Amino acid sequence: MVRLLDGMTDAERRSAFPELKALRKELRGAPWNAESRRAYPALHMAGAACQTGAAGVASWLAAADMRWSQASPALLLHMLGDRDRDWLADVAHRLAQRPESAQVPYELMAGLVRLSGCPVPTTDAYVRGWLIHVGGSWQRGGTVCDRLRQDPHLAQLVAALFETADIGSLLGWLSGDGPDSWTGALAQLTAEGALDRKTMVEACVARLLRGGAPADLRVFLRLLKALALTRGEERERTADWVALASDAPSTVASHAQSVLGSLALEGDLPPRHLAEMSGAVLFRTEKKLVRAQLVLLGKVLARDASTAGELLPAVAQAFGHEDSEVQERALKLVERHAGKATGIHEELAAAAGQLIPALRDRAARTLGVAASAAEPVVYEETLPPAPEPTRLAPVAGSTTELAEETGALLASGGDVAAFERALDGLVRHTHRNRDALLEALSPVVARRWWNNANYANYANYADSVSVRPESDYFRHHGLVNAQFGLDLLLATLCGKVLTTTLHSEARRWTATHDCVHRPLSRAFDARLWEVAYRIRTEPLPFLLSTPTWSTGLLEPDDLVKRLDDYRRLGARPSAADFAQALLRVRRGDRTAAVAAAERAEALGTAEGARLARWLTSGAPELPTAQRTSNDRILVDLGEVPELQEDFPPEFRTLGRPVRGFAEHRYCSHWDESVRQHWLALLPEQRELVAVRMLCDLSAVAVDDTRGSAAVLPQLAESGGEAGEAVHLCVAYGLGARHPEDRLAAVDALLVLAARGRLDPARLGADLGQLVRCGAVKPLRLAESARTTAATGAYATLWDVLRHTLPVLLADLATAGAATPARGLGDLLAVAAECAERSGARGELPHLAQTAARRGSSRLVAEARRLRSALVEQVAA
């Protein structure tokens, strides 16, 4: 190809370009076969050589369809090297403007810059490519410093490093901490004078001030330390250090704090600046920074008594800190130095009102003011309102609207309401006008994986094989989430799934299941497979099981009306769809259920009679639950006989016994988005769903997994009794490793409390047992408790913790001098705050023995604070 192109004139090259475009379009139909992969590099080079416009060449070189089979940069530079220098510069800068995801080779861009002699681009893609090129060129020998020293554009590209977003993570990965690191090399080049020192220091500090991800900033902080600023350079940037100590991530703030501390102790930081900095740092949540600031203030006050008038009001800002230990440290500083200043006692006394009750009297005595007599306050809890279920909107009236909703649902997922509306809409419009629906859906299905011509090539199916790969995939991999369920219906409408596959899957059932989730997934899948089969053979007019409410609940009057419409139309109900409707219909309102049962019986159909019996039977009692424990606590649940009668085989397993540790723990149900749909299977029996998700929820605390607790708010919003399994699910979520899981558990706790479904004694005892067996760490639980308290639910949280703490304190009382669990002091601190704010009174078992322990540890101090709060006569 090189030889052919070298022998062609410009006019001949231009005339060949239309054929190259046609070939490119042809190759797009099968980009991964051997012929295409062999043709693409030559096509990539020829297309660039046969164009004259810089924009067209840049677009061709960076095209996504040729990204994986490109011509080498050396060949491309050979073909383009005889062009005008301004033209080459234009191409170079256009390629550099492409996003990094375009994967334009750095060698190509750098070669064009070299040939054209143009200014070096400093775009994101070029700078990142330069970093990887220099850092990954170890095979050429020499150190990073040596390779950088030889770069003609060193100053411009290093300056661009500080302006490139999120470059720190890449720089840190390439840099490391060894002698041949980027940070060490840049510091060395700065010391040699190859890089301007003032520019480097200012750029580094400015990058830290700009902020960003902690991992991104750590590299620039490492570089700043490697530059080893002099005391004069540090003094010049006092305002920058104050800003970093106030707002930067903790690692950067800690460095700024240490610099300011050194300046302050040497007398180079005016008290006014130290007070300003202290006000910001003491407001931060990181206890390490706050404590270090109080230590610094103490040293300055001890060195120079004249600073007390400016610094003690700053110290008093810590009186409002959430940590009582910080409050006490600040009060000790005030007690020690209050006599060194005049005219600030009223200001300090006003700030002392933020102290916990046990410290207020001490502050009053120190400041020589009378302790304010608190008026008796009757505490009244105001919980966040519980979310109300929303009624499902009618299905889309037109096929165009339905296609838009279906496309959005496939692209980004959705909740139960969106899925059920789309599902019912597909069924209704298929029954009305299949051809119109297919026409409206054509843009949606055009790019689905099962409608791609390349799928068959990728699956490597021979022409003689009669089974479609789409059928095989759906059959063997199952419907892993709701989007796959919609894909099944769409593929069925488009004729991509064999009727025999639909029939066999709709009728397939086995009494065994390989994991605890299988009954839930099989019931969810069974309805979709049967609906897909009926779409192919006998379309349904609409679904009986579409819920009335967003939780999955179906009003009995709605189901009776739908059965009446089926009777008038002469339609035959789907067994799985009707079974799902029965499980969703509301039976908790007995008056409405009995009235609906009479109307259902009057229909004179078998389904009407079955619905009448179901509505009049009332909600079943939950079977006996029994706990089992190993490295975690799970629940065994007995059989539910009601779900074994008059239901299709696919639904009967929902009522089979559950054995927590006997089930397979690891399975194919990895997609967490489907769990909200499992809850909608049994919207009035959430305990039956929770017991099958309990092992997943335990993993967020025991195995430090992420994301499984996201379903907890929906679990709390669902209906039915909240029993052993539901409370254990919430308990594990409160002890989760990741903050987002803990937050979801706090939301669930508050929803249960607001709906009157929370059993504080059960949840508190569960938490105590989980901490005792090591499944939940006290420090994580304390974080969840602190988040709950921040919502104002002090009484609710105290009702939980007063059943948790005795379990944990009992171990200390019986074990004597045993080392307490890490975080127990933090948990006691939250409990003390709840008791103080809610006015809780009474004895807490084993608290007195803990408070009587020797020493002044956090555990002992908070135990004494809690004990003091519980015996006070007046609520704080």
pLDDT digits (tens, 9 = 90+) for 126-157: 999 998 888 765 555 678 888 888 889 999 99
pLDDT in tens, 286-296: 989 999 999 99
Instruction: Provide the pLDDT for residue 776.
Output: 95
φ/ψ of residue 843, rounded to 5: -95, 145
Determine the Cα–Cα distance for residues 718 and 707; give it in Å rounded to an integer.
19
Q: How confident is the model at residue 177 (pLDDT cuts 50, 70, 90)?
A: low
pLDDT in tens, 298-329: 999 999 989 999 999 999 999 988 888 889 89
Burial of 144 (0-12, 13-18, 19+ CB in 10 A): buried
Q: Is the pLDDT of residue 515 over 50?
A: yes
pLDDT in tens, 535-569: 999 999 999 999 999 999 999 999 999 999 999 99
CB burial string 56-65: b at 16+ within 10 A, e below: bbbbbbbeee
Determine the Cα–Cα distance for residues 471 and 372; give it in Å rounded to an integer.
78
Tell me the CA distances in angstroms from 47 to 21, 108, 493, one per residue in order: 8, 16, 41
Expressed in percent and rounded to 5, the helix, strand and coil fractions of the chain are 65, 0, 30
The answer to whether the beta carbons of residues 513 and 522 sit under 8 Å apart is yes
Q: Is the pLDDT of residue 727 over 50?
A: yes
The contacts of residue 602 (CB under 8 Å, 6+ apart) are 608
Instruction: Provide the pLDDT for residue 876.
Output: 40
* Other CB atoms within 10 Å distance of the CB of residue 251: 13
Q: Is the pLDDT of residue 735 over 90?
A: yes
The tokens for 311 are: 């610094």
Q: How confident is the model at residue 465 (pLDDT cuts 50, 70, 90)?
A: very low
The answer to whether the beta carbons of residues 634 and 617 sit under 8 Å apart is no
DSSP, res 468:
-
pLDDT in tens, 10-33: 888 889 999 998 888 888 777 777
Whether the pTM exceeds 0.85: the reply is no
For the chain, give the longest Cα–Cα distance: 101
704 in the Ramachandran plot: left (φ > 0), alpha (ψ -120 to 50) or beta? left
In 3D space, the residue among 532, 562, 521, 566 whose CA is nearest the CA of residue 545 turns out to be 562
Q: Is the pLDDT of residue 873 over 70?
A: no
DSSP, res 544:
S
547, containing H or E segment:
none
The answer to whether the beta carbons of residues 290 and 278 sit under 8 Å apart is no
pLDDT in tens, 590-617: 999 999 999 999 999 999 999 999 999 8
Q: Is the pLDDT of residue 504 over 90?
A: no
Instruction: Provide the pLDDT for residue 466.
Output: 37
Burial of 868 (0-12, 13-18, 19+ CB in 10 A): middle
Q: Is the pLDDT of residue 843 over 60?
A: yes
Instruction: Provide the pLDDT for residue 372.
Output: 54
Determine the Cα–Cα distance for residues 32 and 179; give it in Å rounded to an integer.
44
The more confident residue out of 475 and 778 is 778
Q: How confident is the model at residue 511 (pLDDT cuts 50, 70, 90)?
A: very low
Mean pLDDT lowest among 23-27, 438-442, 732-736, 827-831? 23-27
In 3D space, the residue among 217, 264, 155 whose CA is nearest the CA of residue 225 turns out to be 217
Mean pLDDT lowest among 429-443, 471-485, 792-806? 471-485
pLDDT in tens, 245-260: 999 999 999 999 999 9
Q: Is the pLDDT of residue 817 over 60?
A: no
The answer to whether the beta carbons of residues 455 and 400 sit under 8 Å apart is no
Q: Is the pLDDT of residue 454 over 90?
A: no
Tell me the percentage of the chain whose pLDDT exceeds 90.
58
Instruction: Provide the pLDDT for residue 473.
Output: 54
Work out the average pLDDT over 657-685: 83
What DSSP string runs through 486-510?
HHHHHHHHTT-S-HHHHHHHHH---
Instruction: Provide the pLDDT for residue 66.
Output: 84
Work out the average pLDDT over 169-187: 74
Determine the Cα–Cα distance for residues 424 and 349; give it in Å rounded to an integer.
67
Instruction: Provide the pLDDT for residue 738.
Output: 96
Q: Is the pLDDT of residue 460 over 70?
A: no
Instruction: Provide the pLDDT for residue 448.
Output: 86
Average pLDDT, the chain: 87
Instruction: Provide the pLDDT for residue 871.
Output: 87
CA atoms within 13 A on the CB side of 665: 9
φ/ψ of residue 628, rounded to 5: -130, 145
β-pairing verdict for 625-629 and 633-637: antiparallel
